[in-house]
Each structure stands twice: as structure tokens, then as C-alpha cells.
Structure 1
Amino acid sequence: MIGMVLAAGAGRRLRPYTDTLPKALVPVDGETTIFDIALRNLAKVGLTEVVVVVGYRAEAVEVRKAALEEKYGVTLTLVHNDKAEEWNNAYSLWLAREHFARGALLVNGDTVHPVSVEQTLLAAAQDEKYADAGIILALDDQKKLADEEMKAIFTEDGLLQKITKLMDPETAHGEYIGATLIRPEAAEALADALKTTFESDPNRFYEDGYQVLADRGGVIRGASIGNVSWVEVDNHDDLARAREIACHY
């Protein structure tokens, strides 16, 4: 299994930081960036081969590549998304299909969370309850939800039924936090679902690909991360929150 980070996004709501940097390289703890935390977490759980999908301001990642590899003891493979400023991230993840075919622990490059999230997903993968799941989603079932979150509903048997931002928060079982364990046996079906997703609308999220896969009978389950401090960094308020919590990891 490998680590994987989606770091192609522009993060326009974080300007002026993102005038010259991709969102993943915005600092959240001194010089430590969101990307640093992602790599540190993956390395801590033994995933030292990491594939990174880059796009907007990719050169900023490229110039730091050697230093990051040395600092965290990882090997980075960069996958370039030439449509990162035009299309959404369903296409980004699809571009890495040959890599997640080996099995991957995927994290979004704009999510600040502790290593316990990666540990939860890897532990779930060893749990008999998740033996049939090709995909395991990290789920926050503690926080109060609003309109912006990527919300999910599961059946009584624990199978993903619906995942979307466009859902009544009161009906959701929790928020998908942007971390996924992808088993090798699910890779081909996931790649096809992602292709269907971005071909129908390039502006759709990779989570829409999860929905397509679930609708086709793919087994996707959620693993609760417990009471964990984390944040998806979309705007300056989120960045302030990230800077409050990142120093404690």
C-alpha cells in the first residue's frame, strides 16, 4: 500500500497565500504546511512511498520535493494534472489510477488532521467488519454539520448510501473528512466510476465518483475517527482554525 495526496487545487479563497502557492503549501504551524502534515502522518504509519497529484503552481512542490523526501524519509512521485484550474478533483484522482491500483491511503491536500486518522483507517482495514469493503472512508460522526460539509448516509448494514454536500445536515450520519483507504481490488471499478463522473461533468468531486461506485454495488464503508480536532482549509477562517490545532499534533 502507498500513500497518496491530492494537492492540485488552487485555493483561491486563500489569497494572497495562494497567488504563488498551491493550497497544500500554505503554512499552518510556523513553516510547516498542510502538505508537511500529510507527509508526516503517512510516514508515521509506514507509508513512505507517496504519490502526489499536482496541478496549480506545481513548480512550488517540485522545487521542495528533494527536501521533503529527506525530511520525512519518503519517496515522492508527482502526477501532473494539466486541467487543475479548469476541472474538479474527480479527474485528479482518476489520473492516479495506476498508482491506487496498488492500494492507497488517500488524503486531501487541504485537510489538517492528526495521524490518528490514518491509524483509524489502517486499523479498520484489519477489522473483520470491513473485510468486504473495497473503500473505507474516514468519518467524523461527532461534529454538528452545516451546508458546506461533504456529508454521508449509510444503510443499517453500514454501506454507503449517499455522499454529497447537497443534503439536509440533520439526515446525515457524519462528514467525510477527506481521507480514504482504497483496497487494490476496488481500484478498477473506482477508476471507471471516476471516469463516468468527470465525463458527465468536469466540475464534480471525486466523492461523486464514490456515489457512482456505491450505486453500482461497490462496497464502501465508513470508519469513525472519534473526537478529533481537524479542519478542511478552504478560507481564511479555516486557516486560523488550522493554526490553532496544528501545533498540538
Structure 2
Amino acid sequence: MKAMILAAGLGSRMRPLTDHCPKPLLPVAGKPLIEHHLERLAAAGFREVVINVSYRGEQIVAALGDGQRFGLRLSFSREPTPLETAGGLRHALALLGDAPFLLLNGDVWSDIDLAQPTLTAGDLAHLAMVATTDFHPRGDFHLDADGRLHAEGEPRLVYAGVGVIHPQLVADLPDGEAAKLAPLLLAAMRAGRVGGWHHRGDWVDVGTPQRLADLESRLRRA
């Protein structure tokens, strides 16, 4: 299975840190955040990783190279302007191929077992979910006792930014146009084609300078 890291965003919530540096290259515990992801992917057995880039994307390409030092083969999907999540996936399909792939948001940190997720036959996605947070108390989706995700229902959990995606989920989108992933996931859930699991371990949305600083402090103490 290939993996894809989403790394094309503007990093607006991280300003001023991202005024001159793309968010994936912001340092955490002595190395860029995206390098933590690459090391964990390699340890989980992945060998081919696609990374979409846009804002200051050539800095990311220059910093990571071909991935050999991580034991990986890296490919970069370049977006002249950010295409949002689903648009970025659609644009990268030529590099990802026709098989399901692991999707990893570039701005999360967790101890999720990246080798764990698998896609049930007929499903379009299988997503890691975590408990609601103070900055997202309403949550995203409902996970039932059978491991199926629903647009409606209680209690609700937050999508952790890790999951397995089938290319068919985005294949019908026009290439090169911005599109969000959430509407496609909601439609797939209503068709009964999305599964998930509740991750109860460590997870951080590294979305603001304060949360980045908190993660840095915690990892330095570990």
C-alpha cells in the first residue's frame, strides 16, 4: 500500500511561523514535523509515499529529496494553488494508482498504528476517530458499535486525519479544481460505505503555534 501526506495548505492558523516556512517543515523536537511522519511510515512498512505540495512547496521538496535517507521513495504532487483535501487527492491519483492508500494529514501527531487500517470490501474509506476536543466539541461523525461511520448520530467523534481511502472516492472530481473531502465522505457514509475505529491513544492537532509549542515541550520532556 502507498501512503499520502497532505502538505499543501497555506498554514494560515500557524502565522507568523508560516510566513516564510511551510507548516510541514516547522520543527518539533529537533526535526521538521513531516519527518516524524516519514519515519513512522517507514517503521510501519511503507515504502512509497506521495506528498502534495503548494505553498512554499519547493522548500519541502528540497528538504526531503527522494526519501532515500528515510528508507522511502517520495513522489511530489505539485499544486499551483492549494486544491483543498479532495482536490489534492484527485490531482495525485496519477501517482497513487488504483489501489487504496493510507492518507495522513501533515498537521497531526499521534501514536496511531499506521499499519493497522484496512479497507473493507466495498468501502470507500476507513477512518481513525478520536474523542472530541475543546476546540472541536461537536465532533465530526458518529461511530456505531459495528465500526460504521455515520453523518448523524450520537455520541460523535473527531476525524483524526488518518485513514485508508479508495481512489474511487475522488475519481469523479475534475482534476485541478479545489474540492473538500468532507462532502464526499458524508455521501459515502449515507451509502453505508465508510468504516472506522476509535483511537484512544495519543493524538494532537498541531494546528496553532500554541499547540505546536505544547507538543514541543512534551516531546522534549519524554
The TM-score, its normalising length taken from structure 2, stands at: 0.85
Q: Which residue of structure 2 lines up, in the alignment, with residue 43 of structure 1?
A: 42
Q: Secondary structure at the match of 2:13?
A: helix
Q: Match for residue 28 of structure 2?
A: 28
Q: Report deviation, 1:131.
A: 5.0
- Residue of structure 2 in register with 1:236 after alignment: 209
Are the counterparts in 2 of residues 138 and 224 from structure 1 also a CA contact under 8 Å?
A: yes
CA distance in 1, matches of 2:107, 2:70: 19
Instruction: List runs of 5+ in structure 1 lacking aligned partners.
Output: 164-169
Q: Give the conservation status (yes or no) of the 8 Å contact 2:128–2:163.
A: yes
Per-residue deviation, residues 145-192 of structure 1 (Å, max 9, x unmatched): 5537752113554322218xxxxxx9343111100112xxx3224433
150 and 79 in structure 1: CA distance in 2 versus 1, 3 angstrom threshold: farther
Task: State the distance in 1 between where 2:36 and 2:84 align.
Answer: 23
Q: Structure 1's 150 and 60: CA in aligned 2 closer, same or farther, altered over 3 A?
A: farther
- In structure 2, how many angstroms separate the alpha carbons of the residues matched to 1:232 and 1:70? 28
* Offset of residue 83 of structure 1: 2.0
TM-score, length basis structure 1: 0.77
Once superposed, what is the RMSD of the aligned Cα atoms? Answer: 2.8
Counterpart mapping for 1:1-249 below 5 A: 1-30=1-30, 32-66=31-65, 69-84=67-82, 87-98=83-94, 99=96, 101-114=98-111, 116-121=112-117, 125=118, 130=120, 133-141=123-131, 143-144=132-133, 146-147=135-136, 151-155=140-144, 157-162=146-151, 171-182=154-165, 186-192=166-172, 195=173, 202=178, 205-215=180-190, 217=191, 219-226=193-200, 228-247=201-220
CA distances 1:111-154 after superposition (whole Å, capped 9, x unpaired): 1112x331332xxx28xxx455442101114x555537752113
Partner secondary structure for residue 191 of structure 1:
coil
CA distance in 2, matches of 1:248, 1:205: 37
Distance in 2 separating the partners of 1:246 and 1:209: 35
SS for the counterpart of 1:82 is coil
Count of matched residue pairs: 220
Quick one: structure 1 residues 43 and 245, their matched pair in 2 at CA, closer, same or farther if it must change by over 3 Å?
farther
Q: Report the residue type matching 2:79 in the other structure.
A: N
In proportion to residue count, which structure has more helix?
Answer: 1
Answer yes or no: is the 8 Å Cα contact 2:138–2:156 preserved in 1. no
8 Å CA contact 1:120–1:225 kept in 2: the answer is no
Whole-angstrom CA distance in 1 between matches of 2:4 and 2:55: 17
Aligned letter for 1:83? T
Unaligned runs of 5+ in 2: none
